[in-house]
Amino acid sequence: MNMDKKTLNQPACGAKELSAYNTDQMMTWCGGCGNYFIQNALKRALVLENIAPKDTLMCFDVGCNGNGSDKIGTYTIHGLHGRVLPLAVGAKIANKNLHVIAEAGDGATLSEGVNHLIHAVRSDYPILFLHHDNQNYALTTGQASATTPQNCKMNGTPEGVKIDVVDPLDLVFSAKPSFVAQTTSIDIDHMTETIRAGLNHKGFAFIQILQTCPTYNKIMTDEWLLKNTQRVEELEKYDVHNLTEARAFIEKSEKLPLGVLYRNPRKENFIKTLSHRECINTALIDEVMAVDITPQLSVLKS
């Protein structure tokens, strides 16, 4: 999906203005935090895709990203640490007409919630997941996470991290995904474009956002990201539909690739595999009703 800056500033026909997604809550992130720009890009993507706030559910994990849960004017739920994906998946299965977006950081996703990530990818639940990777537990003052670079000195590891780093992209690719993308918090236009692509995907859309943290992460700065990233759409022979080649390219690339890295529009998502509901037009949320269980209780008592 190609867009110029002029297009990005023009709402789609009938879409709400960005102000429709605002709330009266004051932003509380640190100055220069990547979350300001991620939230802005997300709002722009929703406007450009003509998605109304009433049709959107945002599910937030615990962490700095979760502080945005009362600062965007959609339906929102603030979940438990590392558990945002099953929360979002449950909401989507109950009401498939909602646009469900989950957000979580690298700490929650790759430590407390790594099992949920693996099964969300392999099951291809039809939600958008924005993975905020600032390489530390910033909300609790900068402890090392699974993505903190080796030898990086953080609060709690003053001598530097000595164990191997978890690569989120490699982990997701190992579970045979249907959509993988990567962007950075320093480029609002690119984030907007990438999020729009994820919103249009019919399965589990994993977007890795390399997020700056000026308070605790002194390595992955704006300048570092500019120097060490490249856009795959600018490469001549990159095949976004070839899982094996995409994974091999990412492994050998000297620079971090940005853009839609892999997409398989032919894969059936989880809801499409529920053959027993093919002829049912109602959503699960429409089927909730009061049931008298007195007869069953009587049997148990006897």
Q: Which domain holds residue 40?
A: 32-301
In a domain? residue 105: yes
Total domain count for the chain?
1
Q: Residue with structure tokens 């976004």? A: 240
Average pLDDT value for residue range 25-40: 95
Q: Provide the pLDDT for residue 120.
A: 98
pLDDT of residue 290: 86
Reported as a single tens digit per residue, the pLDDT across 242-290 is 999 999 999 999 999 999 999 999 999 999 999 888 888 888 888 888 8
Per-residue pLDDT, 14:
36
pLDDT computed for residue 302 by the predictor:
67
Task: Dump strand ranges (E) for the chain.
Answer: 56-60, 75-78, 99-105, 128-133, 136-137, 143-144, 179-184, 205-210, 229-231, 256-263
**Which tokens hold the place of 301?**
């008592």
**What's the confidence (pLDDT) of residue 16?**
62
Is residue 5 assigned to a domain? no
According to the model, what pLDDT value does residue 279 have? 85
Q: Is residue 18 part of a domain?
A: no
| 171 backbone φψ class: left, alpha, beta (φ>0; ψ -120 to 50) | alpha
Q: What is the mean pLDDT of the chain?
A: 92
Contacts of 175 (CB under 8 A, 6+ apart): 118, 121, 122
Give the whole-number percent of the chain exceeding pLDDT 90: 82
Residue 143 included in any domain: yes
Is the Cβ–Cβ distance between 132 and 195 less than 8 Å? no
Assess if residue 8 is contained within a domain: no
Read off the pTM.
0.90
The pLDDT of residue 5:
41
Distance CA 211, CA 77 (A): 22
| 13 part of a folded domain | no
- What's the confidence (pLDDT) of residue 198? 98
Q: Tell me, what CATH number does 118's domain have?
A: 3.40.50.970
Separation between Cα atoms, residue 236 and residue 36, nearest integer Å: 33
| Residue 12 scores a pLDDT above 90 | no
Residue 213 covered by a domain? yes
